[in-house]
Amino acid sequence: MHKLGYLGPQGTFSHTAALCWARDHWYTPVCCASLDAIFEQVADGRLAAGLVPVENSLGGPVGETLDLLSTVQSIYITGELMLPVRQHLLARPGVALSAIEKVYSHPQALAQCRKFIKNNMPGATVVETVSTAAAALTVAGSEEPWAAVGSESAAHAYGLEILVENSHDNPDNVTRFLMLGKERAFTGSPAKTSLVLSVKDRPGALYRILREFALRQVNLTRIESRPAGRKLGDYIFFIDLAGGEDEPKVADALRSVKENTLWLKILGCYEAAADNKAPDAATTCGLDDLAFLRREIDLVDSEILQLLAMRQSVVDRVAAVKKGRRLVIDHDREREIICRARESARQNNLDPEMVENIYRLILRGSVHRQEQLLAALR
């Protein structure tokens, strides 16, 4: 069987996720000491694949995984797994709930069971460990009436029994894992595409990225920012979207997005997990459906209005520069704008006369705006 690397030790939720994936995809789970080791061994071929946590519904993103995805070359996301986090109270056989003096676990696991511990073991001391597996190992190796919060696989791995099932406070806790490989292989449906990019340092840069997806009705299922590691305030963005990179509307959006980025890396195209499949707009209502088309028009209208607002803000700055001048109107500049608008209209199969009329209204409004601002400055 092919080797599947996971973040150890045995008994962690990463181990549970690896067992689930290995069972369904014919892999042999291999314990790794760090996330960096998983990426390194997949890259050099020692592992056929790797399974790494990327986000938790309560704890948020796993920053180290995101950083490695953005920097390690020739590694792609080939799948995802949604693992419900089920925390259990584990103890040595024969230990009663009322006798427990200490509860061991990772800080996140303890936080997820805070109410349960308070209500059922108010006198017990809470002790933090480096992992849920380390907590289980500590309890298994002691003769004291101690307990650990951990997974079912931790109980099996260290010879403990599940004293109380589902001791967590929130039943909706889920961790998302990513499958890693060296090949970009998935071409089926339903697909999800993940990418990371760096935007140009200018006003509205991120907005220009997001609008390309919105205008094409491409659903973004996640967007996450991470420090770029160069200077304070410099970020890169991770985006997950519903659809494959070879789908026409996704491919078209990506082409436009690249024009507004410093760099863009496709992290992978893979099958969306069963409980995370977002319905595609074109399948929920047909491309010829009137309501669907009207929503597209509304998006474009919103885009036009935002661009007009951006244009007016620049006009206000122009007025400040023109302070002290007698004339506001620059006829040569207006002719240049009209000429460019007509040419662009022809190239985009629009009526040049209609576009010219629109621009003349815009220019007239700009002149009126500048005259008002300059009068207020006198």
CATH number at residue 267: 3.30.70.260
Residue 223 sits in the same domain as residue 151:
no
Tens of pLDDT, residues 346-369: 988 899 999 999 999 999 999 998
Per-residue pLDDT at 42: 95
Q: Model-level pTM?
A: 0.69
Estimate to the nearest angstrom the gap between the alpha carbon of 50 and the chain centroid: 19
Q: What are the phi and psi torsion angles at 241 (to 5°)?
A: -135, 150
Report CA torsion sign: 318, 320, 324, 326: positive
Beta strand pairing status for 76-84 and 174-181? antiparallel
Q: What share of the chain is helix, strand, coil (3-state, %, to 5)?
A: 45, 25, 30
Is 285 inside a domain boundary?
no
Last residue of a domain, one of 116, 149, 183: 183
Q: How far apart are CA 138 and CA 142, in angstroms?
A: 7
Is 196 inside a domain boundary?
yes
Is 98 inside a domain boundary?
yes
Q: Which of 280, 254, 252, 248 is nearest to 267 (CA)?
A: 254
Exposure class string for 223-238: b at 16+ Cβ within 10 A, else e: ebebeeeeeeeeebbb
Residue 155 sits in the same domain as residue 211:
no
Domain CATH for 357 = 1.20.59.10
From the CB of residue 188, how many other CB atoms can be counted at a distance below 10 Å?
A: 10
Tens of pLDDT, residues 336-346: 999 999 999 99
Residue 48 sits in the same domain as residue 13:
yes
Residue 75 sits in the same domain as residue 99:
no
Q: How far apart are CA 216 and CA 241, in angstroms?
A: 12
Last residue of a domain, one of 280, 309, 331: 280
Structure tokens given for 45: 């071929």
**83, 38 Cβ separation under 8 angstroms:** no
Q: How far apart are CA 94 and CA 39, in angstroms?
A: 42
Tally of domains in the chain: 4
Residue 179 sits in the same domain as residue 59:
yes
Is 169 inside a domain boundary?
no
From the CB of residue 148, how many other CB atoms can be counted at a distance below 10 Å?
A: 32
Radius of gyration of the chain (CA): 29
Residue 271 sits in the same domain as residue 311:
no
Q: How far apart are CA 190 and CA 187, in angstroms?
A: 9
Q: What range defines the domain where residue 350 resides? A: 290-377
Is 74 inside a domain boundary?
yes
Known catalytic residues are 175, 177
Q: How far apart are CA 296 and CA 286, in angstroms?
A: 12
Per-residue pLDDT at 302: 76
Beta strand pairing status for 235-242 and 191-199? antiparallel
Residue 46 sits in the same domain as residue 178:
yes
Per-residue pLDDT at 372: 87
Query: What is the distance in angstroms between the CA of the first residue and the CA of the last residue of the chain?
Result: 82
Residue 189 sits in the same domain as residue 276:
yes
Helices 205-215 and 248-258, packing angle to 10 deg: 160
Is 327 inside a domain boundary?
yes
Q: Which of 337, 345, 76, 371 is nearest to 194 (CA)?
A: 76
Structure tokens given for 165: 């099932």
Residue 295 sits in the same domain as residue 159:
no
**191, 243 Cβ separation under 8 angstroms:** yes
Residue 93 sits in the same domain as residue 151:
yes
Is 109 inside a domain boundary?
yes
Q: What are the phi and psi torsion angles at 82 (to 5°)?
A: -100, 115
CA angle 191, 275, 238 (to 5 degrees): 55
**197, 129 Cβ separation under 8 angstroms:** no
Q: Which of 283, 294, 289, 267 is nearest to 70 (CA)?
A: 267
Structure tokens given for 152: 């079912």
Is 143 inside a domain boundary?
yes
Domain CATH for 54 = 3.40.190.10
Residue 178 sits in the same domain as residue 48:
yes
DSSP state of 327: -
Per-residue pLDDT at 287: 41
Block mean pLDDT (10 aa), the chain, length 378: 86 88 83 93 94 88 91 92 92 93 92 93 93 92 94 90 92 91 78 92 82 89 84 82 91 90 93 59 44 68 83 88 77 93 91 94 91 80
Report CA torsion sign: 261, 266, 269, 272: negative
Residue 39 sits in the same domain as residue 178:
yes
* Alpha-carbon distances of 95 from 88, 98, 116, 164, rounded to whole Å: 15, 9, 18, 12
Q: Output the CA torsion 302→303→305→310 (10° steps).
A: 140
